[in-house]
């Protein structure tokens, strides 16, 4: 299934894209889903059927392409990447679409961004955190250094290097490395004590072989109202599993 993008301008004039599916004429309860690093709304949520599975339950599924990703712009100037810029972009999309009562979720970077948005004051009714553990929220520096190295080794990494698969994915997705480097610098940590802001029901859904962002079990233990869904796969493969859409649909319908 291919879905054409819509576009709007963020507060700093950067052109950002989103796609949506669900009941005709925009009906249905909105759920905003944010993709992972170097991915896109189409690859993360549409390609493997997750969005369609959620939409089948009557939801309006809204999937932005984050700045530097997919059909959204990727400016090179550092000024376009202040701290938590992706949270600002999400706030701008919510305002542009006039969303008041909605659910929010994301995978990996999308999960981090969703948490940062709630900490900043956004109030979705329910929250979905995919491919995320406690260390992925509180210890970004280690992950950030890895992706910085992947950018640096873009042309020199060899098969078997720890950055090889990430670099191949970046090449497939035609990631702009200059813009991506600036974006990585905009990310900030969320210490465990800040997670008290996540008072809404939370689904943590993670591949059984996924420890890229630390322990999902530890994250659930830190949240006041969270449940864990374990699905097949690694960090890279779990988004291709039908079980991801099933877990999210079941959580939203509960």
Nearest to 15 by CA among 62, 67, 61: 67
Q: What is the dihedral of CA 202, 207, 208, 212, to 10 degrees?
A: -100
Is the pLDDT score of 25 beyond 70? no
* 173 within a domain of the structure (yes/no): no
Domain around 233: 6-137+191-253
Instruction: Report d(CA 184, CA 12) in Å as an integer.
Output: 18
In this structure, is residue 149 part of a structural domain? no
pLDDT tens for 215-250 read 999 999 999 999 999 999 999 999 999 999 999 999
pTM of the model: 0.96
- Taking all residues of the chain, what is their mean pLDDT, rounded to a whole number? 96
Nearest to 219 by CA among 229, 232, 228, 231: 228
C-alpha to C-alpha distance for 174 and 189, rounded to whole angstroms:
27
Query: Which residue did the predictor score with more confidence, 47 or 27?
Result: 47
> Is residue 51 a part of any domain in this protein?
yes
Tokens in use for 81? Answer: 């990447």
169 falls within a domain: no
Please name every residue paired with 120 in a beta bridge, in sequence order, or none if there are none.
none
Is 159 contained in some domain?
Answer: no
Check: CB of residue 110 under 8 Å from CB of residue 39.
no
Q: Is residue 21 part of a domain?
A: yes
**Does residue 152 lie within any of the structural domains?**
no
Q: Is 214 part of a structural domain of the chain?
A: yes
Contact in structure between 33 and 62 (CB atoms under 8 Å) = yes
**Count of structural domains, the chain:** 1
In this structure, what CATH number is given to the domain that contains residue 56?
3.40.50.1820
Per-residue pLDDT band for 144 (boundaries 50, 70, 90) equals: confident
Q: Check residue 141 and give its pLDDT.
A: 79
Q: Are 238 and 157 in contact (CB under 8 A)?
A: no
Is 173 a residue whose pLDDT tops 80?
A: yes
The pLDDT-based confidence of 121 (bands split at 50, 70, 90) is very high
């Amino acid at each position: 299934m291919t879905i054409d993008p819509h576009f709007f301008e963020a507060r700093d004039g950067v052109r950002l894209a989103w796609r949506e599916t669900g009941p005709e004429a925009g009906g249905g309860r909105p759920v905003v889903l944010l993709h992972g690093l170097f991915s896109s709304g189409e690859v993360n949520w549409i390609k493997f059927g997750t969005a369609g599975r959620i939409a089948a339950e009557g939801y309006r599924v809204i999937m932005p392409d984050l700045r530097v990703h997919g059909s959204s712009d990727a400016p090179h100037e550092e000024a376009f990447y202040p701290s938590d810029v992706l949270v600002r972009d999400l706030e701008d999309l919510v305002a542009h679409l006039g969303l008041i009562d909605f659910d929010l979720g994301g995978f990996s970077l999308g999960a981090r961004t969703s948490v940062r948005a709630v900490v900043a004051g956004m109030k979705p009714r329910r929250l979905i955190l995919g491919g995320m553990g406690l260390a992925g929220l509180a210890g970004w520096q280690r992950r950030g250094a890895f992706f910085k190295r992947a950018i640096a080794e873009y042309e020199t990494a060899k098969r078997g290097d720890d950055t090889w698969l990430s670099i191949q994915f970046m090449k497939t997705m035609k990631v702009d490395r200059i813009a991506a480097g600036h974006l990585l610098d905009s990310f900030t940590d969320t210490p465990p004590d800040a997670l008290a802001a996540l008072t809404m029901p939370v689904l943590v859904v993670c591949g059984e072989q996924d420890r890229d962002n630390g322990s999902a079990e530890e994250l659930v233990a830190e949240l006041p109202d969270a449940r864990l869904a374990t699905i097949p796969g690694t960090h890279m493969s779990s988004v291709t599993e039908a079980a991801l859409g099933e877990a999210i649909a079941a959580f939203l319908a509960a």
